[in-house]
Amino acid sequence: MGIDRRKFLRATGGTVAGGVLAGCPDGNGTETDRDRPYLDAEPNYRGWFDNVSNYEGTRDYRGESSVTIQVGVEGGIGYFKYGPPAIAVSAGTEVVWEWTGRGGAHNVVAEQGRFDSGDPVDADDETFTHTFDDPAIYRYLCEPHLSQNMLGAVFVGLG
């Protein structure tokens, strides 16, 4: 019988093979993201995350007024991922994408032109902010790193 990685990491508090993961960012975002639970029922992303190496589920940030996503986190092939790649928020939440300065120039471009950070930027002091008012799934990507599956999503729920 296999063990579910998410359940294992939750149960052990991020301790693996005698080493503590807490305190060092991983491909899912910052160290504080590890304290965030995953949604019990995943939204239907329609295969969006099928080849995204750092996607393990949707982190639940419902009830927060502002959430930060890192742009340019490690994901197995370099710094070509968002961290965390999928989040759930309540309507009215401000999401801030914050560049790490790693992996070259990145941007944040939503499907159907719902939001766009503009031209790709290679900096560690760049941010882009969007407030999500309507319940929906908002899928987005990094144009220069689409072939590396640099994909993300914001699920705006009713809760």
Give tens-digit pLDDT for 27-63.
555 555 778 999 999 999 999 999 999 999 999 999 9
What are the structural domains, with CATH classification, of the chain?
Answer: 27-157 (2.60.40.420)
Chain CA centroid to CA 25, Å = 13
pTM of the entire structure? 0.81
Residue 11 has a CB neighbour count (10 Å cut-off) of 10
φ, ψ dihedrals at 73, nearest 5°: -105, 160
Output 17 or 93, whichever has higher pLDDT.
93
Could you give the CA distance from residue 62 to residue 89 in angstroms, rounded to a whole number? 4
Give tens-digit pLDDT for 67-95.
999 999 999 889 999 999 999 999 999 99
Q: Taking the CA of residue 127 as centre, how many other CA atoms within 13 Å lie in the half-sphere pointing to its CB?
A: 10
Could you give the CA distance from residue 124 to residue 98 in angstroms, rounded to a whole number? 8
